[in-house]
Amino acid sequence: MFNLLFLALFTLTATGAPAADKTYEYIVVGSGPGGGPLAANLAKAGHSVLLLEAGDDQTQNVNVSIAANFLLAGNDPATRWDFFVKHSDNATRESNYRRTTWRKTDGSFYVGTDPPAGAKRLGIYYPRAGTLGGCAMHNGCLTMNPNDADWDAIANITGDSSWSAKNMRKYLIQLEHVNYLLNSTIHGHNGWLEMTMLDPGYQSSSDAKTIMQLAAEGSGFSAEDTATLATRDMNGEQPNRDQLTGVFGGVSHMDPQGHRSSPGYYVRNTVRESKYPLTLQLNTLATKIIFDNGTTNPRAVGVEYLQGQSLYSADPRYNASDKGIPGRAFASKEVIVSGGSFNTPQLLKLSGIGPADELKKFNISVVVDLPGVGQQVADNYETSLLSLGARDVNSGNGVIYPVFLKTSAAKIRNIYMWCGSFSFEGFWPGFPEDYGPSQYECAIVHINPHSQAGSVMLRSADPRDVPDINLRFYQTGESEDLGALLEAVKWVRSVFSKVPSSLGPFKEKHPCPYPRSNCTDDEQKTYIKEQAYSHHVTSSCAIGADGDNLAVLDSKFRVRGVRGLRVVDASAFPKVPGAFPVLPTMMLSEKATEDILAEAGTL
């Protein structure tokens, strides 16, 4: 009874009516992997912080709290925001996407390429999480420090050595609460983020053991090496780690009992301690950044918002007639935007920061003409090789193991894959499709592809409207990137072809569906190109060099051309960091904490 009362009090405090025009030292917009930890860290350093989150608190929702339920979390209307994107400007190519989503006349979804009469094309589904903790509350919890080269590239672009891989590792250690390698001195054990190495299934699943051994052999190791490889630390500090390939241990942001660890829990627990000046205001949609009246280098001094549940139209529970309660809050030091790669550029543009021509189109007064806002959007390319075994797969506890590859033209490892008895072919309402207990897949992620031509554009000046998003896959570097992905597919196929009976032979579902065995390279590349999917969007408000016209941020996360305004989320990365940006974004948040406190003189 006490716990229920405590939770009720917490929820009431977090979502109660706003105090009009109250001033805090810092306002943080968005509680995801960038904003949530930053708000908690600043409050723990003694600064008063208002954290605005458009969603509510779903930390007790078992779809969220149990990490293994991530597919349920991704489809849960209590947590999800439904975005729909394009992959190109080519209408024919877009029409070939097999999981295209349409809105039927009765309001429900149709998924496919032959919609019923009257259906409206929505596009390619791209779910985000509108809840306390952001997308770290519905993801698969895969937790990987990117290649060292990714961090070093930011240091080289900006001339700021604090972005070097060597220095960035300290932020990983700060946030880690590692539940493996318990005596290791290269990991952190006292941070806020629980990290656990998954059971690789080497002992619990004979089929997993067999296929893992074949994967080890296919990447230059022996079958006898597999048990050691299956516990290899992908977040270690090995020499020349960017060249390490083959099977690794899978690290996830969860505790050893399988409970999700994420910024949502870190923020919730910080508020519950009641000893830090952190105010969490849920169900609050930021609509505009308030600037002072200065004409030179205007200063961000506050945020306008609407309070109410499901006010953003991406929320499946959205009701256009519910207008919300308007409010304002002010910041004596800084406003920090952490809405994510779609919502952060939208909020900046609505506030007058962005390409002047686009803002004028919607009668938005230009505070600063910043052409890079919503441009150069990046994302990883993902595909998969999905097959059905000759019998049911003995999958143990549903284990998944990761593999790194370096394709022939790459200088460092450029393919990450996760393999196991599952089906994952991208996103659509109700995903994934279950092919039964004989399914086995390697999902393939191309790390840092060449093209970075996506955009996030306003549809209107209405802050409740979703932006127009076109990721423009393969706009540049198509030959190199499709070649790398096809090479990875062929590697997986070669491993699967060696699976012994009675599990084999595998019958491939795609990209070369059984009974065909002679798909041409061009046919497979066409499939990979047209059916690519993604969920790692970054770079829509990127950090860049002082002379870069498209750089939105400097190396300290400060928005160029204004004062008192920063962006701290995945939109800040100049390109996608590694295979999964969630851990890098949390590391980025730790770095931003240090930068902000140092500037405030309270480090």
pLDDT digits (tens, 9 = 90+) for 252-301: 999 999 999 999 999 999 999 999 999 999 999 999 999 997 768 899 99
What pLDDT does residue 422 have? 93
What pLDDT does residue 397 have? 63
Q: What percent of the chain has a predicted confidence (pLDDT) above 90?
A: 90
331 and 239, same structural domain? no
370 and 504, same structural domain? no
| Contact assessment for residue 595 and residue 554, using Cβ atoms and an 8 Å cutoff | no
Q: Counting every residue, how long is the chain?
A: 603
367 and 334, same structural domain? yes
> Does residue 463 form part of some domain?
no
Is 409 buried (19+), middle (13-18) or exposed (0-12) by CB count in 10 A?
Answer: exposed
284 and 239, same structural domain? no
Mean of the pLDDT values across residues 173-182?
95
547 and 575, same structural domain? yes
146 and 6, same structural domain? yes
What 3 state SS string does 77-103 have?
CCCEEEEEEECCCCHHHHHCCCCCEEE
373 and 325, same structural domain? yes
Q: Which residues contact 379 (CB under 8 A, 6 or more apart)?
A: 454, 471, 473, 534, 536, 537, 538, 576
Which of 188, 23, 22, 25 minimizes the C-alpha distance to 597? 25
Separation CA 401–CA 202 (nearest Å): 10
Residue 579, domain CATH: 3.50.50.60
| Contact assessment for residue 201 and residue 401, using Cβ atoms and an 8 Å cutoff | yes
pLDDT digits (tens, 9 = 90+) for 40-76: 999 999 999 999 999 999 999 999 999 999 999 999 9
Phi, psi at 145, each rounded to 5°: -70, 130
Phi, psi at 83, each rounded to 5°: -100, 150
pLDDT digits (tens, 9 = 90+) for 582-592: 999 999 999 99
429 and 305, same structural domain? no
Residue 603's pLDDT band (boundaries 50, 70, 90)? confident
Structural domains of the chain, count? 2
Residue 601's pLDDT band (boundaries 50, 70, 90)? confident
166 and 32, same structural domain? yes
What pLDDT does residue 9 have? 33
Residue 6's pLDDT band (boundaries 50, 70, 90)? very low
- The more confident residue out of 11 and 301 is 301
Given a cut of 90, whether residue 18 has pLDDT beyond it is no
Mean of the pLDDT values across residues 482-496?
98
What pLDDT does residue 295 have? 67
Q: State pTM to two decimals.
A: 0.96
Residue 382's pLDDT band (boundaries 50, 70, 90)? very high
Strand partners, 291: 300
Mean of the pLDDT values across residues 131-143?
96
Residue 231, domain CATH: 3.30.410.40
372 and 485, same structural domain? no
362 and 293, same structural domain? yes
pLDDT digits (tens, 9 = 90+) for 67-124: 999 999 999 999 999 999 999 999 999 999 999 999 999 999 999 999 999 999 999 9
Range of the domain at 407: 199-249+381-446+476-531
Q: Which residues contact 484 (CB under 8 A, 6 or more apart)?
A: 407, 409, 410, 414, 415, 446
Given a cut of 90, whether residue 438 has pLDDT beyond it is yes
Tokens representing 124? Answer: 């390619």
